[in-house]
Amino acid sequence: MSEFWPYFKIGLTHVLNIHAYDHVLFLTALMIPYTFKDWKRVLILVSLFTLGHTLSLFLAVFGIVSVNPLYVEFLIPITILATAVFHLFTAGKSAKTESISFVSIVTLFFGIIHGLGFSNYFKAILPGSASDKLLPLLEFALGIEAAQIIVVLIVLILAYVVQTFFRFSKRDWALVMSAFIMGVVVPMIIENEIWKR
C-alpha cells in the first residue's frame, strides 16, 4: 500500500501546483455555468475529462501515440480560451439548455489534449519496463482525479458564495470569470514557445 501514495501524491500535486495552473484554469472555465444543483452534469463532464486525459496518458506512456510537446503546450491554453469564450457568449443561459452531447465531446477531446501534456511529465518519472508502468499510471490518474474534485468543489463553492452573498447574477458571474480566464490565458498563448520557432 505504501507504493500507492507516491504516484497518487505526484498526480495530486501536479494539478494543484501553483506554477502549473493551466489544468485548474480549464476546470474553472468548464465549471463557470454550473452550480451544485447541476451535480449530475458536473459529474459527467469531469468524468469525461478524466477519461480523455487518462486515455491519452495511457497511449502516450505505452508509446502508442507520440505528439510533439511543443504543440501540446500550445493547444492546452487554446482549449482553455475556447471554453472561456464559449461561456462568455452563453453567459446567463441555463446550463440545462446546452447540448450535453456537444459539451461532452468537446470536454473529452480537451481531456485528451491535457492528458498528452501530463504524459511528458509522467514519462520522465516512470519506472523503466512496460510491466511496471500500469499501476503507477492508475495511481497518478487517481491523484489527478482527486485534485480535479478539489478544484471543482472550490469553484462551485466560490460560485455559490458570490451569487448568494454578493448577489452576483449567474450571468455576471459567467461574464466576470470568462473575462478573467481569457485575461490570464491570452498572454500564455502569445508567449508560447511555438511562435519562437
Question: Rounded to an integer, what distance in angstroms lies between the CA atom of residue 60 and that of residue 115?
Answer: 9
Asked whether the predicted pLDDT for residue 194 surpasses 60, the reply is yes
What single letter denotes the amino acid at residue 21? Y
Q: How does residue 1 score in pLDDT terms, banded at 50, 70 and 90?
A: very low
Grade residue 12 by pLDDT with cuts at 50, 70 and 90: very high
Mean pLDDT of 119-135: 74
C-alpha 138/C-alpha 151 separation (Å) is 20
Q: 52-69, pLDDT tens digit by residue?
A: 988 998 898 888 998 898
- Write the pLDDT tens digit of every residue in 68-79: 989 999 999 999
Cα separation, 60 vs 67, whole angstroms: 8
Alpha-carbon span 28 to 44, nearest angstrom: 15
Is the domain defined by 4-196 classed in CATH 1.10.1740? no
Q: Which of 178, 152, 146, 148 is nearest to 81 (CA)?
A: 178
Is the distance from CB of 36 to CB of 156 less than 8 angstroms? yes
Residue 109 pLDDT grade (very low, low, confident, very high; cuts 50, 70, 90)? very high
Check if the beta carbon of residue 168 is closer than 8 Å to that of residue 41: no
